[in-house]
Structure 1
Amino acid sequence: MAMMQDASKRARQTRVATHGFTLLCLLGWSILAWLSPSYQMPSPLAVIRGLGVFLSNLNLVKQLGFSLYHVGMAIFLSFLIGSILALIPYYFPVFRFAIHQRFGAFLGSFSGVGWALLAGMWFGINSTSVIFAISAVLIPFALINLSSGLKNLDFELMEMGQSFSRNKIRKLQKIVLPLLYPYIFATIRLMFGVAWKVTLAAELFGGNSGLGYVINLARQDYDTTTIFVILFLIIFFVYCTERFFFKPIQNRFDEYAKI
């Protein structure tokens, strides 16, 4: 009973500290906005009003849809390419050094802004450039995470599968992929968060649609309120996706791991 009361007290203290910290940040933001020109730091109230204007404008909401499309397509393509690159050295070890030490190292060291600029020169200012730039940044995450999963496969299960079938495709479907599910989920979860960090820069430099494109227009008009609104929307969307989609799935994986 005492332990339950202590746990409840700690949870209540945590909530109070969290909400207090949030209110303190809002207060600091309000003071900074009051001391600064509106084009440099809009107030929280101005951002809330700007959010209402943004959501009531169909053209601006459409730009949010374009960004979601860019992120979704980039995650799909980069995960597909990264998976293939991870599987090649697993089945053909002769390519391990070339893929991990050469190609993977090259992609991992190249900046997202660099890819956005190159994509704009190669494909023009369009969605193709944006998706290419985001995908190029995300591929190393899929390659590294899935390669780690392949290295840590259960050796006994793989031997058992070898005794039942020598068909590599069948073993991939029945044994390898199910064992990789936690790594696949972790990879997609990581890529989703990173993708939004890259998307704005890619759309800013190489896109003609999306939230980054709207930020570019707002920057030219010194419309800082719109920039804050877009940043708030991205933070809110990523938080809700993490809280209500990824976290419940992660809890299921954790429960399964305890069995």
Structure 2
Amino acid sequence: MTGTRVAHLFTLAALLAWWGYSQIVPPYQVPGPVPVFLRMLDFAGDSYLMTQVLVSIAHISCAIVLAFVIGCALAFASTYLSVTRLLIDGLLTPFLNAFSGIGWLFLALLWFGLNDVTVIFAVTMILIPFTAINVRTGLQQLDGEMMEMGLSFTRSPLRRFARIVLPLLVPYFFAALRTSFGVSWKVVLTAELFGGNAGLGYLLNVARQELDTETIFAVIAFILLFVVICEQVIFRPMQRKLDRRYSRA
């Protein structure tokens, strides 16, 4: 039996188990797959619900971009500015990696209040270490022979950086973005739930207060489907292209 069939059978078994359990408990605890699916269809036709989806996507997009820029800056500074190496590698990156996401959220609430800035700030601070560590690892593993070869072609550091260093770092950039995308969906709901005034997390909070379990399950199912589709349509094809390109190199 192929892996694809096993995966499909597992998905079918999970749906059947979900449907079976929904038959023996009240709908407000576990609604069945059909009502949840119908509720998901409402997202496309309801401008308010679609707005919440777009707000969450905007929060995540802004946080990923900010975390990528800041994380890359930290990685490059640690590599090329020796005076900052101990500060960044020994103190700042471990601190950011260990600090609780809830802690960032509470600090953001104190500093910015209930708004989009709080959500983006909290998610960004959680994502920064993923980029910093991935890119720093890539810089440490640069091919020394290729760097020496670059010196024979040009003495310009900027040209060597653009023609040699950046292309070699592409797999590490991609790994950082791919990891950040997955993690961001895990943390943005919490950030919006406690510190946002819009988004899917905010929608979950409203649905919880109204005991609208169908909406809660629909939001969770939507996020799962969205992440899986992005993984299958965007990230995996790009990963295969990168594997083919760099395996030949």
TM-score between both structures, scaled by the size of structure 1: 0.92
Aligned-pair distance for 1:174?
1.6
> Aligned pair 1:81/2:87, yes or no?
no
User: What is the SS of the residue equivalent to 1:222?
Assistant: coil
Distance across 2 between alignment mates of 1:15 and 1:21: 10
SS in structure 2 at match of 1:68: helix
Measured in 1, the distance between the counterparts of 2:193 and 2:35 equals 24
In the alignment, structure 1 segments of 5+ residues that lack a partner are 1-9
- Report the Cα distance in structure 1 between the residues aligned to 2:230 and 2:14, rounded to whole angstroms: 23
Q: Which residue of 2 aligns with 1:43?
A: 32
Q: Does 1:68 align with 2:52?
A: no
CA drift at 1:164? 3.5
Q: 1:38 & 1:54 partners in 2: Cα distance? A: 20
Q: Which residue of 1 aligns with 2:104?
A: 115
Deviation at 1:132, TM superposition (A): 0.5
User: Which ranges of structure 2 fall in alignment gaps of 5 or more residues?
Assistant: none
* Equivalent in 119, 144, 148 of residue 159 of structure 1: 148
One-letter amino acid of the counterpart of residue 202, structure 2: Y
Post-superposition CA distance 1:119-148 (Å, at most 9, x none)? 111111111111100000000000000000
Of 112-121 and 127-136, deviating more is 112-121
Amino acid at match of 1:158: M
Where does residue 179 of structure 2 map in the other structure? 190
Secondary structure of the structure 2 residue equivalent to 1:39: coil
Q: Distance in 2 between matches of 1:238 and 1:164?
A: 43
Q: Does 1:199 align with 2:188?
A: yes
Q: Which residue in 2 is equivalent to 1:175?
A: 164
C-alpha distance in 1 between matches for 2:7 and 2:91? 45
Q: Does 1:238 align with 2:238?
A: no
Distance 1:162 1:208, change over 3 A: same
Which whole-Å CA distance do the structure 1 matches of 2:163 and 2:6 have between them?
48
Matches within 5 A, 1:3-152: 10-11=1-2, 14-152=3-141
State the 1:117 CA deviation.
Answer: 1.6
What amino acid is aligned across from residue 173 of structure 2 in structure 1?
I
Among candidates 213, 219, 222, match of residue 224 of structure 1: 213
Question: Amino acid of the residue matched to residue 237 of structure 2?
Answer: P
Q: Distance in 2 between matches of 1:239 and 1:17?
A: 17
- Structure 1 residue aligned with 2:247: 258
2:30 partner SS: coil
What is the CA-CA distance between 1:70 and the residue it aligns to? 0.5
Q: Match of 1:232, as an amino acid?
A: A
Question: Matches of 2:221 and 2:130 in 1, distance apart?
Answer: 26
Letter in 1 for 2:74: L
Q: CA deviation at 1:222?
A: 1.1
1:178-216 per-residue CA deviation (whole Å, 9 max, x = no partner) reads 110111111111110011111101111111111001001
Deviation at 1:100, TM superposition (A): 1.2
